[in-house]
Structure 1
């Protein structure tokens, strides 16, 4: 299986990139979100989903792991294959799609390309509560000492968003006391 490609874009046509990687040109289908992320770049790095059937071998590319995860989640929905999943991802920013599913907003989902009421309802039924946003993914990666520093500063009355911004800039291996002191110094400026 191919899971990642890094190479030079040598051709682009309607949602399909041809990427030259070590002398081989790979045809990779991408969503409009990914195409927007990599616009004007000569060299790209994409996370890949390899779709293999008896008569088809296709590559689907994504600029982020979050987009690839959402694509794979969409494939678990009855009636959604890779081509429709890419069209869905092209229809709106990822956070809008995820929010619509979590809010059970059938009307918003039916505005996506090729998504009717039944497909929208099936998406909600299958995916609601199981999707991860980039913001949630980043918060999950916060180290335990950083979580403790954030908790201490929030308990002192600082806003969570301000504290997270400051703590994100601290070294990963910082001691708790030193991290609190440094964060307090930055927050008081």
Structure 2
């Protein structure tokens, strides 16, 4: 099983990235909390990996920290929570914020994530209470900088929000509140913050 990738960042198409490890390009799905921490294209990157092997696919999910990966692994053990919803949860809040929401039984915060209704939020609290670690660091090894803004950042932000489970209408509404010159990482972060409040 693949547990870690250490290579060069080739592509960023939120929520997926491609990491070149000695000539092999690995497609990795990452939550937005990790996406915000990625270096510029062509820079070195290290991701902690959770691999899922199915009959029809081998899927890689990457995380900035071991704590984030462990939180993801706990999430997918919860009844009714698959990898996509687990990624959406970790895109809407950090591992620490999730642990806090579980500890305080903040159903409203949990229900703000697309795909999470009240019943699922209650199940998360019930099944994860006391199981989530805190103190996750969200800096990539070496404290690598954020990526530079891209010309088509608006469409990247929209696609990322839709990939996380929001409808096009919800995503478009969230994007109307963003500054005109916002880069992809910051735009996704601000849009998710707005959607979580709404």
TM-score by length of 1: 0.69
CA distances 1:28-83 after superposition (whole Å, capped 9, x unpaired): 00000001122436110000000111112100000100000100000110001111
- 1:1-189 alignment, distance < 5 Å: 1-40=1-40, 42-134=43-135
Aligned length: 135
Unpaired segments ≥5 residues, structure 1: 136-189
2:37 aligned counterpart, secondary structure? helix
What is the CA–CA distance in structure 2 between the aligned matches of 1:14 and 1:113, rounded to whole Å?
Answer: 17
Deviation at 1:14, TM superposition (A): 1.9
1:125 aligned counterpart, secondary structure? helix
1:7 and 1:19 in contact (8 A); partners too = yes
Unpaired segments ≥5 residues, structure 2: 137-198
What is the CA–CA distance in structure 1 between the aligned matches of 2:69 and 2:114, rounded to whole Å?
Answer: 18
1:159 match: none
Runs of 4+ in 1 over 6 A off after TM superposition: none
What is the CA–CA distance in structure 1 between the aligned matches of 2:97 and 2:12, rounded to whole Å?
Answer: 26
What is the CA–CA distance in structure 2 between the aligned matches of 1:68 and 1:14, rounded to whole Å?
Answer: 18
Root mean square deviation of aligned Cα:
1.2
Deviation at 1:94, TM superposition (A): 2.1
More helix, by proportion = 1
Deviation at 1:113, TM superposition (A): 2.5
What is the CA–CA distance in structure 1 between the aligned matches of 2:21 and 2:11, rounded to whole Å?
Answer: 13
What is the CA–CA distance in structure 2 between the aligned matches of 1:32 and 1:132, rounded to whole Å?
Answer: 19
Which has the higher Rg, Structure 1 or Structure 2?
A: 1
What is the CA–CA distance in structure 2 between the aligned matches of 1:88 and 1:77, rounded to whole Å?
Answer: 13
1:40 aligned counterpart, secondary structure? coil
Deviation at 1:97, TM superposition (A): 1.2
Asked which structure has the greater RCO (Cα within 8 Å, sep 6+), the reply is: 2
What is the CA–CA distance in structure 2 between the aligned matches of 1:90 and 1:2, rounded to whole Å?
Answer: 22
